[in-house]
């Protein structure tokens, strides 16, 4: 274990003596605070903060980060308050320590909820100071290194959390070395036997491969010398977790993965990278489609390098990465490689630091829109993506998106308002479905319309956390406004039968009912009615009578316009359309479900005023409604085309079609057709009847 003297000696190579003394002072304060406390391994507790500070010292972090590392468990594990730390070490250090500390004073229902809330708190602190996450990552790394002393269940839980959250965060911040160590330690804790088997196989394979690796390395070095270029050639080892993931995800055998030989060439400047690329492409034949230029277009975490795959001697595939020394440093240590934290407010962070800030800003936006901490952490997990696609806006700006992103993800990445009002897209100037996955290099143009709203179906294909969170948020607002509107109509309908209206009721009476139901706003009560969680006539009874005596049931149907949106659903069992006699079934959480008056599924509750309400179609009803038809006709060639053209001629639209033969002569076709009302349906049926060979047309109902 390192001692404080050893650490101070290392720090003196890049920090001033005053700053080293401040770090020493933080260490002695932590030693006193943790006096008597021991780790599970039996060591004095202060060895942990010292080790965390040592990890940060390897990254050449500033003295404030090192002080926060020394003190990071003081608030959580000792009786010392944040205010005491502020008095001793100043506001900045206290804020950093508080950002890393877990929420210990609150009780959570589940471990997942506690994890989510703690991460949410850390995200807020990261937004104020990005160093919070670096201290937290170093803390987690030392905990992972000493995981053996933990009980098996707890170590598996910590390992799972590390693989799901902390390893991807390290990757997102470009900290490659830390990510690899997280993944290998997490893999070992989660699957000890699998880890050991792969480790043994790698050890054996390394011995067999040694000769080929040396030959390839030698030929690349000779090639560089011949072309008069300086560069270091290193063979790269694949780490255990990445081998395991490839074997599992791509269903490939261990030998297939180890058949690929990987090398890294480190040079002095960017110009040399491209010259080296030309040289190795002359030496061995490149594999088409496997060249990636991350120098011109860096990855989202700031990673830069040239990647190419070659056919080596005897057809052996060789993966080569070419980069400068600065890029190598940045690839391994990411945001911590050249620490750019400035005390002056006007100094703008650059490079990977700016990218990290941008990412944290995005996380904060997710946090503000998310319904709860679990939804937030789900969005963050989605956003910690390993691969990107690069697409262009119509003006030529490059946008980085996760692999598998669609035009809707792109629209929300441009701006929330663009996403919310998106109705169509053009990919490379051609109209394309919104759900089509984007390919790198495509130019994407979003078509918007004022008044357009997000579609719930988008949640089935969007990939980014930002798009998912904003769609959910917009749908919640839309659902609430529609529920409030429907709830108000239902309540006013009941009140109208007693010659009164919601607006004419005394405010005190409404407030008394709200207090009784433990609600703050009248909109909350109307939303509950619209969602079917409370019955309109029960609420009316409370509003009109002090003691809740029975009121006569209301009369006269409620008119349906077809524009009520998410809180009004049309039953799939009987598919009602305008013109049909209908009834509304109030279903808790779903709002109102419209059924045919004669539907068998609601026959038991048809006359229960608490469950059903009489409905009618408004004169200005609009929209398209699906109806199912069963057509029996003689079997003939081009049957589907005939039916489709007949429906189309009557301005109908076929949503779904299926066919089965009853015998060799008669075919039965099931059609789902969208129509405006019963008159329109009659026109469609008339057109179908005019077809030659049609024997019977039946409208399907429950």
Closest by Cα among 479, 487, 490, 484 to 453: 479
Asked if the domains at 4-173 and 625-699 fall in one CATH topology, the answer is no
Q: Name which of 410-424, 434-448, 584-598, 684-698 the model is least confident about.
A: 584-598
256 in active site: no
pLDDT of residue 175: 83
Catalytic residue among 77, 113, 597, 624: 77
Q: Name which of 53-62, 71-80, 321-330, 431-440 the model is least confident about.
A: 71-80
pLDDT of residue 350: 55
Is the pTM of the predicted complex or chain greater than 0.75?
no
Closest by Cα among 339, 326, 300 to 134: 339
Confidence class for position 368, pLDDT limits 50, 70, 90: low
pLDDT of residue 575: 87
Q: Which long-range contacts (CB under 8 A, 24 or more apart) does 154-157 make?
A: 155/189, 156/189, 156/190, 157/111
| Phi and psi torsions of 501, nearest 5° | -145, 155
Euclidean distance between CA atoms 393 and 410, whole angstroms = 9
Q: Compute the C-alpha angle 491/497/499, nearest 5°.
A: 100
pLDDT of residue 549: 47
pLDDT at 550 over 60: no
CB 632 within 8 A of CB 700: no
pLDDT > 70 fraction of the chain, expressed in percent and rounded: 85
Reported in sequence order, the residue ranges of 545-662 that DSSP labels E, i.e. its strands, are 558-560, 568-570, 582-587, 591-596, 612-617, 625-634, 653-661
Q: Name which of 360-374, 447-461, 630-644 the model is least confident about.
A: 360-374
Taking each helix axis from N to C terminus, what angle separates 240-249 and 176-190, rounded to the nearest 10 degrees?
70
pLDDT of residue 151: 85
pLDDT of residue 386: 52
Helix (H) or strand (E) holding 309: strand 306-311
CB 635 within 8 A of CB 665: yes
**More reliable by pLDDT, 435 or 608:** 435
pLDDT > 90 fraction of the chain, expressed in percent and rounded: 19
Closest by Cα among 355, 369, 635, 620 to 476: 369
**More reliable by pLDDT, 409 or 592:** 409
4-173: CATH topology is Hypothetical protein af1432 (1.10.3210)
DSSP 238: P
Give pLDDT tens digits for 572-582. 888 898 888 88
Confidence class for position 419, pLDDT limits 50, 70, 90: very high
Average pLDDT over the chain reads 82
Winning range, highest mean pLDDT, from 105-109, 185-189, 338-342, 589-593: 185-189
Euclidean distance between CA atoms 44 and 37, whole angstroms = 6
* CATH architecture designation of domain 204-334: 2-Layer Sandwich (3.30)
Would you say the C-alpha torsion 167, 168, 169, 174 has a positive or negative sign?
positive
76 in active site: yes
Give pLDDT tens digits for 209-268. 778 888 888 889 999 999 889 889 988 777 888 888 888 877 888 877 766 788 999 999
The CATH class for the domain spanning 625-699 reads: alpha beta
**More reliable by pLDDT, 58 or 107:** 58
pLDDT at 667 over 60: yes
**More reliable by pLDDT, 22 or 361:** 22
pLDDT of residue 624: 84
Confidence class for position 281, pLDDT limits 50, 70, 90: very high
pLDDT of residue 564: 64
pLDDT at 424 over 90: yes
pLDDT of residue 186: 93
Catalytic residue among 43, 76, 181, 445: 76
Give pLDDT tens digits for 148-169. 888 888 889 889 888 888 888 8
pLDDT of residue 425: 93
Distances 109 to 115, 135, 229, 318, 473 between C-alpha atoms, Å:
11, 28, 62, 51, 24
pLDDT at 666 over 60: yes
pLDDT at 342 over 50: no
pLDDT of residue 61: 85
pLDDT at 483 over 50: yes
pLDDT of residue 340: 37
CB 434 within 8 A of CB 406: yes
pLDDT of residue 338: 47
Sequence-distant (6+) residues with CB within 8 A of 269 are 324
pLDDT of residue 351: 59
- Please compute the mean of the pLDDT values over residues 35-64 and round it to a whole number: 87
pLDDT of residue 276: 93
pLDDT at 552 over 60: no
Provide the edge-to-edge strand list for the sheet that holds 653-661: 653-661, 666-675, 625-634, 694-699
pLDDT of residue 152: 84
**HSE-up of residue 643 (Cα within 13 Å, Cβ side):** 28
pLDDT of residue 412: 92
Taking each helix axis from N to C terminus, what angle separates 465-496 and 536-544, rounded to the nearest 10 degrees?
60
- Please compute the mean of the pLDDT values over residues 642-654 and round it to a whole number: 89
- Sequence spans of domains, the chain: 4-173, 204-334, 473-617, 625-699
pLDDT of residue 105: 47
DSSP reduced 3-state for 479: helix
């Amino acid at each position: 274990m390192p001692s404080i003297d050893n650490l101070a000696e290392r720090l003196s190579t890049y920090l001033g003596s005053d700053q080293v003394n401040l770090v020493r002072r933080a260490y002695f304060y932590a030693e006193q605070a943790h006096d008597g406390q021991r780790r599970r391994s039996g060591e004095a507790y202060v060895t942990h903060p010292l080790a965390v500070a040592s990890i940060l010292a390897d990254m050449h972090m500033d003295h404030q980060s090192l002080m926060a590392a020394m003190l990071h468990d003081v608030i959580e594990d000792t009786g010392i308050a944040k205010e005491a730390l502020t008095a001793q070490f100043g506001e900045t250090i206290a804020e950093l320590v508080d950002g890393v500390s877990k929420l210990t004073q609150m009780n959570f229902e589940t471990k997942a909820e506690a994890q989510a809330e703690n991460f949410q708190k850390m995200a807020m602190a990261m937004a104020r100071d990005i160093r919070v996450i670096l201290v937290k990552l170093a803390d987690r790394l030392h905990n992972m290194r000493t995981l053996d002393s933990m009980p098996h269940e707890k170590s598996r839980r910590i390992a799972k959390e590390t693989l799901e959250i902390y390893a991807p965060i390290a990757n997102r911040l470009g900290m490659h070395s830390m990510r690899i160590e997280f993944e290998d330690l997490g893999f070992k804790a989660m699957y000890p036997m699998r880890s050991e088997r792969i480790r043994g196989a790698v050890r054996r394979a390394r011995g067999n491969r040694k000769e080929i690796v040396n030959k390839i390395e030698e030929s690349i070095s000779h090639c560089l010398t011949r072309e008069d270029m300086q560069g270091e050639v290193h063979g790269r080892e694949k780490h255990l977790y990445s081998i395991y993931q490839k074997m599992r995800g791509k269903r490939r055998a261990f030998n297939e993965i180890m058949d690929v030989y990987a090398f890294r060439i480190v040079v002095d400047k960017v110009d040399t990278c491209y010259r080296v690329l030309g040289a190795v492409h002359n030496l061995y034949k490149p594999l088409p489609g496997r060249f990636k230029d991350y120098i011109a277009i860096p990855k989202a975490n700031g990673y830069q390098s040239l990647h190419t795959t070659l056919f080596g001697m005897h057809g052996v595939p060789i993966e080569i990465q070419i980069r400068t020394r600065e890029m190598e440093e940045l690839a391994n240590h990411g945001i911590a490689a050249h620490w750019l934290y400035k005390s002056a407010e006007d100094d703008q962070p650059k490079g990977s630091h700016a990218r990290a800030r941008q990412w944290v800003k995005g996380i904060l936006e997710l946090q503000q829109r998310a319904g709860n901490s679990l939804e937030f952490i789900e969005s963050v997990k989605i956003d910690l993506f390993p691969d990107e696609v690069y697409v262009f806006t119509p003006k030529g700006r490059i946008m980085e998106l996760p692999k598998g992103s669609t035009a809707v993800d792109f629209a929300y990445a441009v701006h929330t308002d663009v996403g919310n009002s998106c109705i169509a897209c053009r990919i490379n100037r051609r109209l394309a479905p919104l759900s089509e996955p984007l390919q790198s290099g495509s130019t994407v143009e979003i078509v918007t319309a004022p008044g357009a709203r997000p579609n719930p179906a988008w949640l089935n294909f969007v990939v980014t956390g930002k798009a998912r969170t904003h769609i959910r948020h917009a749908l919640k607002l839309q659902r609430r406004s529609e529920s409030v509107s429907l709830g108000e109509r239902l309540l006013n309908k009941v009140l109208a039968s007693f010659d009164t209206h919601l607006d004419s009721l005394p405010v005190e009476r409404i407030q008394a009912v709200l207090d009784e139901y433990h609600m703050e706003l009248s909109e909350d009560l109307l939303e509950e009615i619209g969602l079917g969680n409370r019955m309109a006539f029960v609420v009316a009874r409370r509003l009109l009578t002090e003691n809740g005596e029975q009121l006569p049931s209301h009369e006269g149907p409620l008119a349906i316009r077809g524009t009520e949106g998410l809180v009004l659903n049309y039953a799939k069992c009987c598919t009602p359309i305008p013109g049909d006699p209908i009834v509304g079934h109030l279903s808790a959480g779903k709002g109102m479900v419209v059924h045919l008056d004669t539907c068998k599924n609601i026959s038991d509750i048809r006359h229960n005023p608490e469950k059903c309400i009489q409905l009618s179609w408004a004169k200005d009803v609009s929209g398209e409604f699906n109806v199912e038809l069963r057509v029996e006709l003689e079997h003939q060639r081009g049957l589907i085309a005939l039916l489709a053209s007949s429906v189309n001629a009557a301005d109908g639209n076929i949503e779904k079609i299926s066919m089965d033969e009853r015998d060799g002569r008669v075919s039965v076709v099931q059609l789902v057709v969208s129509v405006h009302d019963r008159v329109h349906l009659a026109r469609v049926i008339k057109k179908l009847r005019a077809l030659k060979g049609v024997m019977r047309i039946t409208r399907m109902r429950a």
